[in-house]
Structure 1
Amino acid sequence: MKLEQIKKLIDRSENIIVVSHIESDGDSLGSAIALQLALKKMGKKSFVPAPDKFPNRYRFLEKYAERWGYFKDTIDLVIAVDCSTGERIDWGNFKYDGKIPLVNIDHHDGNTNFGNVNWVDPSAAAAGEMIYELIRSIGVRIDENMASALYVAIMTDTGRFSFGNTTAKTFAIASALVELGADPKFLTTETYFKFSEEYFRNIGIALFNSRSYLNGRVLFLTLDRASMHSFSTSHENSEGIIDFAMAVQNVDVAVLFKEISKNKVHASMRSRRGIEISEVAKYFGGGGHPNAAGCTIDGNLAVAQEGVLNRIKLLLGV
């Protein structure tokens, strides 16, 4: 069993880093932080080479993570959480040479099994569910900080327990985390209801630039460079804006386009009613879950939007 293999690797390792993916979200950060804290409780030296700047939405979690800069010993083990491919790993300033054992823990259906040990469970609503199981299996008592990080991981990847990936098991784990000290009101408020002024401006830009297609079934939101420059904002402060599009009546597919540079566009995609939007993301070299996916497209904004719309039309058969 994969859990047993991972436990054995952890037991015989002393210096362990836990890595998450680029453009970190709540699941990747919360899972990595919780596991790192658990490993420290086992007496291991463990660190998260987190990004230099935490996403604003999760800044309250930053105090729990210890950065790579404090870790000077030789690494025995690398554990990657919530990374669908090796290319998605955010290594920070750690130089991975491929010689250190790499454990891959993930819940994405299209995971490439890039690790030496791969525990991939697409039935898990979030990587946080899997890390919860791992921490329990290694015999570490989950404290309030770990419970809080895991609650954020699961809450964010299930859209506040509203997405189709939410199961009875999800609620059972969330309930256990609350019993262990996670505060739903505090964590929900910190994550969703403390907008920075920049984030608020980005909402306005994206909604102003909205365009609907196919009789309202498809809705595009856009953060273009010109508007972001005019309003002194950044595309990095935009997680969750796509959810506004999915709140519109009759919308089955929504895409948030973020113009990274003149010829590079990131697209965050959502869908419902059995439409697997991940197929569109995969076409452009991205991936994700059936109803929540993303990709980065080489090309200008107009080309990216036209290309995505054409693939959506093919997906919908129109």
Structure 2
Amino acid sequence: METTMTTAALTPEAEGSPVVHSAVSAVAAALRTAESVVLLAHSNPDADALGSALALGLHLRSRGTKVWVSFDRPAEIPLSLRTLPGQELIVTPSDLPVDAQLVVSVDVGARQRLGHLIDLFDAAPVSICIDHHASNPGFGQIQLIDPSAAANVMLVVEVLDEMQAEITADIAANLYAGLATDTANFRFATAPSHLLAARLIAAGTEPQSLMRPIMDTHPFRWLAMLSCALKSATLLPEVAHGAGMVWVKVSEADSDGLRMEDLDSIIDIVRTTGEAEIAAVFKETAPLMWQVSLRAKTTFDVGRAATELGGGGHPRSAGYSFSGNVESLLAELMSVLQSVEPAR
């Protein structure tokens, strides 16, 4: 395999465009010839990130390629994702080879979301970015970035099809997990998303058993935390040009003993508030350190707001980090939301 490659800034505007096809072909060609590949998900991986990596990894291993899957943190695989097939491919960052021919980031919307693995990515002879975040500025030598894709796994399946891969039951399970979670159980799915879901079920995926540990299982302690969080719920009808925002906070004490993946599910409850276009959850990860999750229903681009605040994401789903007290966090967020014009 060649150790250098011309940078290809392939950032398409619409799914199925010639630019997308060109990027897919470039990624598939690089993967076909690689003898060793590292696949990197973002820190605190979700099912779309880890499912993307494992689906690609399982196919590459079947071709005889040496494959490693990893992420910067947490130190352990998120509990809800431990039933995804291909766990044996996952290694800790310290066990990754430094001389892999190709390093691929999947569902990583910005370089910093690789954490300490940025250096490994940057040092790779060939680096590839496969992502669907609209806020992605573009990084890596080969870029397959398509914001029109409802989930990152939709780009991965295009690459697999270009490689004429067999979509086995194990590969299909990883792809389905990413598709279902990133479309909020298909509430935000496109027609191609539903067609892919049908294909994956036909390949052997069993949605109910697959998704139960990922989306429908929490420890009993989660109920107490949720109760405390919902008690803090505050409705601000005047925010975002009168569209309204509802927010809750989760203190470090209230979330003690719970995983970040347990906290991430709160936003799906808060977003059901009928009087608010925008929902926000402030999660305290350390004293005066917060992870902020944002969701919008129809008219606001919270991805743009999150990008201005140092994070990123999608128009209806985004997030960022903040250091300071909750009053300052709220004031800054309200100011930025007021500067974002709603869609007409």
TM-score (norm 1): 0.91
The equivalent residue for 1:78 is 103
**SS of match in other structure, 2:144:** strand
Deviations 1:195-215 (A, max 9, x none): 122433332232122111116
The equivalent residue for 1:200 is 223
Structure 2 CA distance for aligned equivalents of residues 86 and 170 of structure 1: 27
Deviations 1:112-142 (A, max 9, x none): 2111000111110000111111112111101
In the alignment, structure 1 residue 39 sits paired with structure 2 residue 60: yes
CA 1:104–1:145 in 2, change beyond 3 Å: closer, same or farther? same
In the alignment, structure 1 residue 177 sits paired with structure 2 residue 200: yes
Partner amino acid for 1:132? V
Structure 2 CA distance for aligned equivalents of residues 237 and 94 of structure 1: 30
Structure 2 CA distance for aligned equivalents of residues 91 and 102 of structure 1: 16
In the alignment, structure 1 residue 116 sits paired with structure 2 residue 141: yes
Contact 2:103 2:127 in 1 (8 A): yes
Q: How many residues align?
A: 313
Structure 2 CA distance for aligned equivalents of residues 186 and 241 of structure 1: 22
Structure 1 CA distance for aligned equivalents of residues 231 and 102 of structure 2: 47
Partner amino acid for 1:247? T
CA 1:99–1:43 in 2, change beyond 3 Å: closer, same or farther? closer
Partner amino acid for 2:28? K
Superposition deviation, residue 94 in structure 1: 8.3
Aligned residues with identical type, % of pairs: 25
The equivalent residue for 1:213 is 236
Contact 2:28 2:160 in 1 (8 A): no
Superposition deviation, residue 190 in structure 1: 2.2
Contact 1:47 1:71 in 2 (8 A): yes
The equivalent residue for 1:136 is 161
Q: How does 1:63-74 map to 2 (within 5 A)?
A: 64-68=87-91, 74=99
CA 1:90–1:36 in 2, change beyond 3 Å: closer, same or farther? farther
The equivalent residue for 2:23 is 2
Q: 1:222 aligns with which of 249, 260, 269?
A: 249
Deviations 1:149-180 (A, max 9, x none): 100001000000002xx111000001100000
Report the more deviating stretch, 248-257 or 194-203. Answer: 194-203
Identify unmatched segments of 5+ residues in structure 1: none
Contact 2:99 2:124 in 1 (8 A): no
Structure 1 CA distance for aligned equivalents of residues 332 and 259 of structure 2: 24
**SS of match in other structure, 1:191:** helix
Q: Which has the higher contact order (CA 8 A, sep 6+)?
A: 2
Superposition deviation, residue 26 in structure 1: 1.4
The equivalent residue for 1:271 is 296
CA RMSD of superposed structures (Å): 2.3
Partner amino acid for 1:181? G
CA 1:210–1:223 in 2, change beyond 3 Å: closer, same or farther? same
Superposition deviation, residue 62 in structure 1: 6.7
Deviations 1:18-46 (A, max 9, x none): 10111211111111111111111111011
Contact 1:281 1:287 in 2 (8 A): yes
Structure 1 CA distance for aligned equivalents of residues 86 and 161 of structure 2: 23
Contact 1:81 1:127 in 2 (8 A): yes
Identify unmatched segments of 5+ residues in structure 2: 1-21
The equivalent residue for 2:78 is 55
Structure 2 CA distance for aligned equivalents of residues 60 and 102 of structure 1: 29
Q: How does 1:168-317 map to 2 (within 5 A)?
A: 168-214=191-237, 217-229=244-256, 232-233=257-258, 235=260, 237-315=262-340
Superposition deviation, residue 73 in structure 1: 7.7
Structure 1 CA distance for aligned equivalents of residues 99 and 124 of structure 2: 12
Superposition deviation, residue 188 in structure 1: 2.6
Structure 2 CA distance for aligned equivalents of residues 60 and 190 of structure 1: 8
Contact 1:126 1:157 in 2 (8 A): yes
Structure 2 CA distance for aligned equivalents of residues 71 and 300 of structure 1: 38
CA 1:57–1:198 in 2, change beyond 3 Å: closer, same or farther? farther
Deviations 1:249-285 (A, max 9, x none): 2221000101122232110000012211112211211
